[in-house]
Structures are given as structure tokens and as C-alpha cells.
Structure 1
Amino acid sequence: MAPDIPLNINIKEPRWDQSTFVGRANHFFTVTDPRNILLSDAKLENARKIVHDYRQGIVAPGLTEDELWRAKYIYDSAFHPDTGEKMVLIGRMSAQVPMNMTIVGCMMTFYRTTPAVLFWQWVNQSFNAIVNYTNRSGDAPISVRQLGTAYVSATTGAVATALGLNSLAKRVSPLIGRFVPFAAVASANCINIPLMRQRELQYGIPVTDEDGKRLGDSAKAAQQAIAQVVISRILMASPGMAIPPFIMNTLEKKAFLKKFPWMSAPIQVGLVGMCLVFATPLCCALFPQKSSMSVSRLEPDLQARIRDSSPGLERVYFNKGL
């Protein structure tokens, strides 16, 4: 019996055109869908089977194209694109909104005392370390020492920034003090992500031609990939950490929060969550996941090998990570 769907659907690529921002946004709204973290292991394994079978030319009876794409996105939400390993639950992109809204909301509520700053910056950097490792580019392992260095450095940088700015903020308006957590998060991203992915900067990440043929490893490509991820992460945090302070500053002057001050944290978490639902996929979409660069910008030895094996090739492609 002929399959219900054709065998030439390219499920290695996203369903939407990734050369446009709208196409990438549609893709990441699906990838970051928080509902995916509720899927059982059985559903994840079924999605993997559908995807792997389809790549081998095997189509389950009655499978529709929409079901195939759904399986592809379930698979992508839980399995690393380079290693194929199942990612730790809280490190998946589908966990970004619920995890970040909780952590960031609490960071922005409990920022006035040193113990609270220390605790929530530690929680945030622990979460960031897991996310950065889980969504690294390439298939090279990272040592425990490298993980520890990145984790300690980022946590120290974030706490130092938060405590330093907190002391300065005491001399200015309370509204400005509410932006201290954002400054700490931005500085930590600039430390945490490059350190967590330092192996890529040292040894490079896989670069391929447009058809996916591996051409070598490039540290230059890693530099571009990591810079794009840092920019995306900082901008991703911006709406959730820049808009709620103005709202909360107004609400805390009203009678309701004066009567029920314990409601500050849930309201702040909810406000951050509403921002992150949109900011997370839209900022992930700023740069193509399958990033590219000119062959002429690669390391000289890699350029030479590529020109020998593929004389007409002008651009190489790589997974930038998330």
C-alpha cells in the first residue's frame, strides 16, 4: 500500500522558511511551547520513532503530514539536534517560560536584602548553567572542570554585580533599584555562556555545506554562534525585567498590595510570564538556528581544506545553539 504522505518532506529543517524572521518566530513558538514539558516519555519515544522511521523511508499507516510535523517538533523539543541525546527536562527550550518566569519573578521581588540576592542569583545561574550545557552547539563533551569554572564564574559575576548595584541603588529612587536584577542577569550571560561553551571556542564547532556534509570544525564559527546567543539571551530577558518594575512600582502604592503584600511575588511572576511567552520565541528567532558564514572568514587551514574538497563553496553552515 502506498504511504499516505510523500517521502520527500524535509523534516531535517523547520516547517517554516527560516530565511525570514516570521518563519523563525513560528518555528520557535512551537519549539518553546511550555505544554511540551508535560509530554510523557512514551510520547517522546513515539515521536522519535516516527521521525527516525520516516528518515528511513518507513511511514506508519494513516500517518498524516500534520502528525509528522507534530512528531518532528516533539522530537526537537526533547532531543539534542547534534548528539540525539534526550535533554534534561529543565534544560529544554519548552521549560524556559515556566522556569524563567518563576526565577526572574522572585529575583525581582526579593532583591532588597543580601541573602535574597545571593540565593536567587545562585538559583538563576544554576538554571542558566543547565540550559547553556543542554543547548550547546556540536557534539563535543565538556569536562566537569569546565562546567564548574563556568558555573562559579557566572554566579560570582552575577552576585557581585547585583550587590554592587544594590548598594548604589540605595542612593537613588526605588524604581531604579528594581532594575538591578536585570543588570546582574545581563552581565552573567556575558560570562556564563562563553565559559560554558569554552570548548567550542578552543576546538571549534562542526561546519557543514548546505546539504549537511561535515567539512571540519571552526572556532571562528563558534565565536559568531556564541555572540548571537548572548545577544538573544539578554534581549530575551529585557521585556520581563524592564516592563514589570514600572507596573509593580505603581501597584505597590495601591491599597491592595499594602493590605496583601504577600501577593507581590505571584503578581510579579505572572507579569514576567506574560512577557516571556512572547519574548522567548521572538528573541530565539533573531538569528537563524542554522547559522552561516563566509568561507573566507574561517581559519586559514580550514579554508584551504574546503577549497580543496569543495572549490566552489562560498558559505558554511552550523548550529549556533540556543
Structure 2
Amino acid sequence: MTRIDVSNPQFNQNTYWGRARHFFATTNPLNLLVSSKALEESRQIVVYDSAFHPETDQKMLIVGRMSAQVPMNMAITGCMLSYYRSTPAVVFWQWFNQSFNAVVNYTNRSGKDPLPLSQTLTSYLTATSGALITALSLNRLAARAPPLVGRFVPFAAVSAANCVNIPLMRSKELREGILVFDSNGQEIGKSKIAAKLAITQVVISRIAMAAPGMTLPPILMDALEKRGVLGRMPWIAAPLQVALCGVFLTFTTPMCCALFPQTASVAISRLEPELQSLTNCSAIVNYNKGL
């Protein structure tokens, strides 16, 4: 029997559909139910990518795994969309969301080195403050706009926070660069340019991941409100939006994770001159962009 190489994804990562199949498997919420013992045994068998970091080889925090994205985000997003009019609720759910995002960003960072606690706390507090300021400011402006506009405030706040939270939580990569490898997997050095590419791709993926579940349900809920459905059955708003977010995230999470290869490639000629001097300038090098 040929031993399966668990260090490489099961599906072809050079195609979008191969990456999508890979992330449909790794983001499956049922992976959260696998015991620690079974996960450790999986190192010797097949299932691996969903629970272990591709560079450190360490088991990831359960809340930070991509398989936790659907159940966690459907609850958080559904509640943000349901309680967007209440200032205390906006503060709580934006704080809760950014706390969750901080764990996800730390868990799925690129590189092997741990982040200093001071940097982690600074990034977390800055991103949370940014999300709160954005949400509360937009809510104030939306008070004078049509009701539907107010329902899109949570998405605007989440998008703005992603643009802040991810770069901040990975600011060490921007300062020091991330490792790039040649075609044989040998380390060439660290590149700040590759870090910028990686973080930009992750920000785009995260915003795209959230977009359908945070823009389409508000349109439906606005229609239900105009028809009086929510007036007759106000209790249905939160569970309906949580369920709708869950349906969208089940598909958008793996499909948006697959927008860019996790092991991304870039021409060495696009990177720093000092790296170009270490290898063939026409070569393609690889880096782990994170998720």
C-alpha cells in the first residue's frame, strides 16, 4: 500500500475547483466533532489539513479552525443583522465578532513564529475599536436614511474591520516578511512584498465570504417587514437570519477560501532585489498566504 502524503492537500491546488473541494472538506463543521485522539491518529492516515497548521505542524485552536467558521459566523452574523438598531447590542456583537476574528487570524497566520502578546493585544484592541466606531457612526448616519440602508451597516463595519484586523494581527509579517520557498521546498528568505500580497488576498477572501450572507438576508428581512410579517411574528427575525447566514456561509466559506491558493506563487522578479540575487530571477517561488 502506498503511503499517502498528508503534508499535501488531497485535491489539485492549481485549479479553483480543486481548491474549492479542499476547503469544502476542511471547513466542514463536522470536523469539530473529531476527538483529539482521532486527530493525532490522523497524522498517520489521511485527515489532516482541517486541524493542523501547514507550517508549524501544530494542532490549531478549535475556535480558530476554518471548520469553525460556519457555525460561529452564522450565529455572530445573524445576531449582528438582527440587533443592529440597539447600541448595546451593536457594541457587544461587534466586540464578540472581532474577538473571534482575532483568534482566527492568529490561528491561520503565515509563518512559524508566535506573535508577541503585546502586539496581539494592540492589534485586537485597535481592530475592535475600529469596528465599533464604524458601526456606531454608520448607524447614526443611517438613522436619516431608508430602513434598508441601516440593515447594511453590519456588513460595512465588518468589511472595514477586516481591512484593519487582518493586517494588524499579521503586522509582524509586514515588518519582517514571510518565508518564500523554491520549487524544491527550500527556504530562500523572507519577503515583505510576499507578505503584502498574502494579506491582501486574505482580506479580499474574508470580505467576499461575508458579502452574500450579510447583504441578501437584509433585503429579504426588509421585504418581510414591509409586508407586516415581522410585526406579526417578531420572534422569527433572529432565527431566520441565523439560518440564512448558515446556508450562505456553508458555500461561501470554502468557495471564497479557494479564491487564491493557500500555497501561492509569485515570480522572484517581483520580490526584493536581495532575494533575486539568491536564485534564478526567472524562477517562481512559493509562500503560505494563510487563511
**Pairwise CA distance, 1:49:** 3.1
Q: Which residue of 1 aligns with 2:254?
A: 281
- Report sequence identity in percent: 58
Matched residue of 2:190: which SS? strand
Q: Could you give the per-residue CA deviations for residues 253-284 of structure 1, whole angstroms, max 9, x where no partner exists?
A: 44553233122111100001101011101111
Q: Which residue of 1 aligns with 2:110?
A: 137
- The one of 127, 146, 149 equivalent to 1:154 is 127
Alignment RMSD, CA only? 1.4
- The one of 292, 316, 319 equivalent to 2:285 is 316
Deviates more, 1:220-229 or 1:204-213: 204-213
- The one of 19, 34, 48 equivalent to 1:39 is 34
- The one of 209, 213, 218 equivalent to 1:245 is 218
Task: Tell me, yes or no, if the aligned pair for 2:268 and 2:281 is still in contact at 8 Å.
Answer: no
Q: Which residue of 2 aligns with 1:24?
A: 19
**Pairwise CA distance, 1:46:** 1.1
Select the structure with the greater relative contact order (CA < 8 A; seq sep ≥ 6).
Answer: 2
**Pairwise CA distance, 1:20:** 1.3
CA distance in 2 between counterparts of 1:148 and 1:263 reads 37
- The one of 143, 161, 164 equivalent to 2:137 is 164
Matched residue of 1:207: which SS? strand
Q: Could you give the per-residue CA deviations for residues 206-258 of structure 1, whole angstroms, max 9, x where no partner exists?
A: 11112211111111111100000000001110000011001111223445532
- Is 1:14 aligned to 2:34, yes or no? no
**Pairwise CA distance, 1:11:** 3.7
Report the TM-score, using the length of structure 1 for normalisation. 0.87
The equivalences for 1:282-301 within 5 A come to 282-301=255-274
CA distance in 2 between counterparts of 1:86 and 1:13 reads 16
CA distance in 2 between counterparts of 1:40 and 1:252 reads 44
Q: Which residue of 2 aligns with 1:234?
A: 207
CA distance in 2 between counterparts of 1:280 and 1:181 reads 18
Q: Could you give the per-residue CA deviations for residues 179-204 of structure 1, whole angstroms, max 9, x where no partner exists?
A: 00000000000000000000111111
Which is greater in Rg?
1
The equivalences for 1:187-198 within 5 A come to 187-198=160-171
1:18 is matched by which residue type in structure 2?
Answer: Q
Matched residue of 2:50: which SS? helix
2:40 is matched by which residue type in structure 1?
Answer: E
1:232 is matched by which residue type in structure 2?
Answer: S
**Pairwise CA distance, 1:149:** 1.2
Q: Which residue of 2 aligns with 1:61?
A: none
CA distance in 2 between counterparts of 1:205 and 1:312 reads 19
2:36 is matched by which residue type in structure 1?
Answer: D
Matched residue of 1:212: which SS? coil
Structure 1: gaps of 5 or more residues: 51-70
- Is 1:225 aligned to 2:198, yes or no? yes
2:141 is matched by which residue type in structure 1?
Answer: L
CA distance in 1 between counterparts of 2:36 and 2:5 reads 25
Q: Which residue of 2 aligns with 1:68?
A: none
Matched residue of 2:180: which SS? strand
Task: Tell me, yes or no, if the aligned pair for 2:7 and 2:54 is still in contact at 8 Å.
Answer: no
Report the TM-score, using the length of structure 2 for normalisation. 0.96
Paired residues, number: 291
- The one of 65, 83, 86 equivalent to 1:92 is 65
Task: Tell me, yes or no, if the aligned pair for 2:269 and 2:282 is still in contact at 8 Å.
Answer: no
2:16 is matched by which residue type in structure 1?
Answer: F
Q: Which residue of 1 aligns with 2:186?
A: 213
Task: Tell me, yes or no, if the aligned pair for 2:9 and 2:49 is still in contact at 8 Å.
Answer: no
CA distance in 1 between counterparts of 2:269 and 2:188 reads 14
1:108 is matched by which residue type in structure 2?
Answer: L
